[in-house]
Each structure stands twice: as C-alpha cells, then as structure tokens.
C-alpha cells in the first residue's frame, strides 16, 4: 500500500517556538514509518516555511535551552492543486513534495490560534486538531472563559484588558475582586510563557508590563489554591476522556522552566490520586469543555481541584483523603505539548493508548473530518 504523506508542521513565530521543536522531534520519532512517509515542515521565527531532512532539521535537538530550527534547508510555499496540497520550492518554483494530511505541532500564536488552521482550510487540506473556531476560542483565555461561564461550567474569577483600556480604576477593581496573589497572563499564549504571580500591587504592575510584551490583551486571574489536575480528550463528534493526571510543581507554579527546562521542575502523578467519582466528574467536565468550545481531534483540559470543608455542596466531590473539593476549569490546550515528558501523550499511555497509536488515531480523525467536510456543498446552485 502507498504510504500516507504526513506533513509535521512545527516552529513558527510564537513565544513557544522552541517547545514546538521539541514536540516535532518526538512526533517524528514515534510515527509509524511503515504506514507514513513523513515530510518535515519547519517554520522559522520570521514565518518562512522550510523542508528539512530528518538528520538535520533541528539543531541542538537534545538541549531545550539551545534547540533551534535549521534554516539552511529549502524554503517552500504551499499551494492547492487537483485536490492535493503541494509544497513548492521558493527559489526554483518546482514541486518538492505533496502532503496528504498535516500534523501541526505549532504551539501558541500563529499556529494554535486559528491562523494556521485557516490557511489549511483555504488549501482544502486535512489536518490534525481543532478547526479555526475551536482553535481561536481555545487560545484566547478571555473569550474561552466567557464561553465556559455562559455554558454553566465552573471557572474562577478573572479580568481582561488591553493596553489602551488599562487604567487605575481597572487595577483597583481587579485587586478588590481577586485579592492577592493574582496570576497575570497574555490572553493568547500557552506553555506558561509571559505568566507571572503577583503578590502585591508593585509586582502586579511589573507582571502586567511583562504580559503585554507577548500579547495585546492580558488576563488577570484569581489564585485558586488547590491541586492541578489535567485530563486529555480525543475525538471529533463523540470524544473520549483519558484518566486524569496531577501536576505537582517544585517551582512556585508550573512555569515554562518547570515544564521544559528543569527536568525536576514538576512531578507528574499519572493517574492522579482521585476517587472513582472524581475521575468520572473530571472526565465529564473535560468533554463538556471540549464540546462547548467546538474542538475536534485533541485537547488537554486543565483544572484546579479546590478543597472545601463541606461535603453537602452539589458541586463538591470527594477527594481520596476524604475531603470535599470543587473542580474549576483553568483552560484547554487544543495543540498540547507532544514532547516525551508532556502530559497529553502520557495520560493516554496510562489509559491504554500508546504514543504511536495515539498519533495514528489523530491522523485518522483528521481524515474523517475532511471526509465530512467534502460532503458539503461549496457553492450555491440556483
């Protein structure tokens, strides 16, 4: 049988560029080469697309501090032709390869926020993961939380602002409502890039300045003291949820360094020590989040489990230690990390789906979604 050509798209103009390279390396190594012919498409920090050779597509691949894309490889552009996506050499104007299905691991802005997904839709290409809408709302923490709140899902208190709308009144209102400490985040980034934990007003102002380095809109969130629980979702119309896991940071919070630089930055407890009732509850909530935000393919939903004293509340669940707790949705990641230490593949491994099988399922979900779209009429007939 002819092998399916899978284009792994990685890198990009995001603050999560280096994380994306690590994910791409792991995905490439785990893909079944007996089934798939892999095309490596690296996007540099200026937005140029390159095709790379497996042996040299990433430099310093074993060092997360020095890892970078090899931009000496051939620059390409993508075009749609005769129902295929072709990659054309920029310098020579000739076809280099074609792609049957794209596998984006472009975390962050311009790759996870609907921009790349819009381009792939324009190319009429099959691709792994959420579509334009799910990607966009899943990336924007402000819009995401408002939609989840509207759907009746439990979210913590938050404030959002742009640079122009920032005022002393906004700060006073946020401090009064949220109290300290306050988490400050760029609205449209992940991997904890640009996130700070402010313990007083001076630190809050510094944190806001830092967050605005990465996005034009930022979000201020209340500090929810509790366990950090994560649950993976897989599927299209009928998604399934994995066993949940717990992140136990050794840093003050689960920072970028804790996730990708410091090997001892956090302990991942998989599966999490939860009661059967709690496992069912968090799985149900994760699927509700996934569906509410119009996601497809994959997503990792992050929660806080806040302890409570009373066991009478309908929104409380029993912890393994006998204490009641309430789950709060923190966020969804529609293109979660795929490194060897990333939660998403690890959660599925604990749930009985190997890394290689997971990649195969995601590719099939992308092809299924494309078949469904191809059944739709693209033009209006009089």
Enumerate the domain spans of the chain: 4-127, 157-222, 227-368
Asked whether 171 and 184 are in contact (CB, 8 A), the reply is no
Which one is the CATH code of 227-368: 3.40.50.720, 3.30.470.20, 3.40.50.300, 3.40.462.40? 3.30.470.20
**CA separation (Å) from 330 to 174, 180, 205, 254?**
18, 18, 23, 13
Asked whether 374 and 42 are in contact (CB, 8 A), the reply is no
C-alpha 82/C-alpha 151 separation (Å) is: 42
Which one is the CATH code of 157-222: 3.40.50.740, 3.30.1490.20, 1.10.3720.10, 3.30.70.3340? 3.30.1490.20
Tell me, what DSSP letter sits at residue 257?
I
C-alpha 299/C-alpha 348 separation (Å) is: 12
Quick one: residue 301, left, alpha or beta (phi over 0 = left, psi -120 to 50 = alpha)?
Answer: beta
User: Could you tell me the pTM of the whole model?
Assistant: 0.90
Asked whether 40 and 52 are in contact (CB, 8 A), the reply is yes
Cis geometry, peptide bond prior to residue 351 (ω within 30 degrees of 0): no
Alpha helix stretches (DSSP H) within the chain: 17-30, 115-122, 132-139, 141-150, 168-178, 201-211, 256, 276-292, 343-350, 355-374
* Same fold yes or no, 4-127 and 157-222: no
* Cα torsion 141, 205, 169, 224: sign: positive
Looking at the domain that runs over 4-127, which CATH code has it been given?
3.40.50.20
pLDDT tens digits in sequence order for the chain, 382 residues long: 789 999 999 999 988 899 999 999 999 999 999 999 999 999 999 999 999 888 888 888 888 888 999 888 899 999 998 778 999 999 999 999 999 999 999 998 899 999 999 999 999 999 999 999 999 999 999 999 999 999 999 999 999 999 999 999 999 999 999 999 999 999 987 656 789 999 999 999 999 999 999 899 999 999 999 999 999 999 999 999 999 999 998 756 544 555 545 556 678 999 999 999 999 999 999 999 999 999 999 999 999 999 986 544 444 565 444 457 999 999 999 999 998 789 999 999 999 999 999 999 999 999 999 999 999 876 666 6
């Amino acid at each position: 049988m002819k092998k399916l050509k899978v284009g792994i798209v990685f890198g990009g103009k995001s603050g999560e560029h280096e994380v994306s390279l690590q994910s791409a390396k792991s995905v490439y190594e785990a893909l079944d080469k007996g089934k798939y012919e892999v095309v490596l498409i690296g996007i540099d920090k200026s937005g140029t697309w390159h095709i790379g050779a497996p042996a040299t597509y990433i430099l310093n691949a074993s060092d997360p501090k020095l890892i970078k894309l090899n931009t000496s490889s051939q620059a390409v552009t993508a075009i749609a032709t005769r129902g295929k996506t072709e990659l054309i050499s920029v310098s020579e104007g000739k076809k280099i390869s074609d792609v049957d299905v794209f596998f984006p691991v472009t975390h962050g802005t311009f790759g996870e926020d609907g921009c790349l997904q819009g381009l792939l839709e324009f190319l009429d290409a099959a691709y792994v993961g959420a579509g334009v809408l799910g990607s966009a709302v899943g990336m924007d923490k402000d819009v995401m939380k408002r939609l989840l709140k509207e759907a009746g899902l439990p979210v913590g208190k938050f404030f959002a602002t742009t640079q122009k709308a920032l005022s002393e009144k906004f700060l006073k209102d946020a401090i009064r409502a949220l109290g300290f400490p306050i988490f400050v985040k760029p609205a449209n980034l992940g991997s904890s890039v640009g996130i700070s934990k402010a313990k007083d007003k001076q630190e809050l102002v510094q944190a806001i300045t830092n967050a605005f380095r990465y996005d034009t809109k930022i979000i201020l969130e209340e500090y929810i003291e509790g366990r950090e629980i994560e649950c993976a979702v897989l599927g299209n119309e009928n998604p399934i949820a994995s066993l949940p896991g717990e992140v136990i940071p050794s840093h003050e919070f689960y920072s970028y360094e804790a996730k990708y630089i410091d090997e001892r930055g956090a302990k991942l407890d998989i599966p999490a020590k939860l009661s059967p009732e709690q496992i069912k509850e968090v799985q149900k909530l994760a699927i509700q989040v996934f569906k509410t935000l119009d996601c497809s393919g994959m997503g990792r939903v992050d929660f806080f489990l806040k302890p409570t004293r009373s066991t009478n509340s309908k929104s409380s669940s029993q912890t393994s230690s006998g204490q009641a707790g309430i789950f709060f949705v923190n966020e969804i990641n529609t293109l979660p990390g795929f490194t060897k230490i990333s939660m998403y593949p690890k959660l599925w491994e604990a749930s009985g789906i190997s890394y290689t099988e997971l990649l195969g399922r995601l590719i099939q979900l992308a092809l299924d979604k494309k078949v469904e779209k191809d059944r739709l009429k693209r033009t209006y007939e009089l």
